Amino acid sequence: MKIGIIGSGNMGRSLGMLWAEQGHEVFFGSRDAAKGKSVAEFVGLGTQGGTNDEAAAFAEIILWTARGIMPSELLSNPEVLNGKIVIDCNNQEIPEDFAYPPIVESLAEKLARNIPNARVVKAFNTMAQEVFELAPEPLKNYQVSVFVAGNDEAARKAVS
Ligand SMILES: NC(=O)c1ccc[n+]([C@@H]2O[C@H](COP(=O)([O-])OP(=O)(O)OC[C@H]3O[C@@H](n4cnc5c(N)ncnc54)[C@H](OP(=O)(O)O)[C@@H]3O)[C@@H](O)[C@H]2O)c1
Distance CA 97, CA 94 (A): 8
Look up residue 81 and give its DSSP letter: G
CATH number at residue 114: 3.40.50.720
pLDDT, tens digit (0-9, with 9 covering 90-100), for 94-121: 878 877 776 678 999 999 999 999 999 9
Give residue 94's pLDDT: 80
- Return the CA Rg of the chain: 15
Average pLDDT for 84-99: 89
Domain-embedded: residue 23 = yes
Q: 67 C-alpha vs ligand 1 centroid, how far in Å?
A: 6
pLDDT, tens digit (0-9, with 9 covering 90-100), for 1-43: 999 999 999 999 999 999 999 999 999 999 999 999 999 999 9
Q: 62 C-alpha vs ligand 1 centroid, how far in Å?
A: 14
Per-chain mean pLDDT for the chain: 94
Domain-embedded: residue 15 = yes
Query: What does the angle CA 129 – CA 132 – CA 136 come to, to the nearest 5 degrees?
Result: 165
CB of 30 shorter than 6 A to ligand 1: yes
Residue spans of beta strands (DSSP E) within the chain? 2-6, 25-30, 48-51, 61-64, 85-88, 119-123, 148-149
Domain-embedded: residue 67 = yes
Average pLDDT for 124-145: 89
CB of 67 shorter than 6 A to ligand 1: yes
Asked if 118 and 61 touch (Cβ cutoff 8 Å), the reply is no
Average pLDDT for 68-86: 98
Asked if 3 and 16 touch (Cβ cutoff 8 Å), the reply is yes
Give the residue with greater pLDDT, 64 vs 100. Answer: 64
What size, in residues, is the chain?
Answer: 160
Domain-embedded: residue 106 = yes
Task: Give the residue numbers spanning the domain of 133.
Answer: 2-92+102-159
Give residue 68's pLDDT: 93
DSSP string covering 90-109, please? --PPPPTT--SS--SS-HHH
Give residue 28's pLDDT: 98
Q: How far is CA 8 from CA 20, 98, 115, 128, in A?
A: 14, 29, 21, 16
Average pLDDT for 140-160: 94
Give residue 153's pLDDT: 98
Asked if 7 and 66 touch (Cβ cutoff 8 Å), the reply is yes
- For atom 28 of ligand 1, the residue with the nearest CA is 66
Q: How many domains does the chain have?
A: 1
Give residue 102's pLDDT: 65
Q: At what angle do helices 33-43 and 10-21 cross, to 10 degrees?
A: 40
List the beta bridge partners of residue 123.
Answer: 148
Domain-embedded: residue 97 = no
Give the residue with greater pLDDT, 65 vs 101. Answer: 65
Q: 87 C-alpha vs ligand 1 centroid, how far in Å?
A: 13
CB of 90 shorter than 6 A to ligand 1: yes
71 falls in which pLDDT band (50, 70, 90)?
A: very high
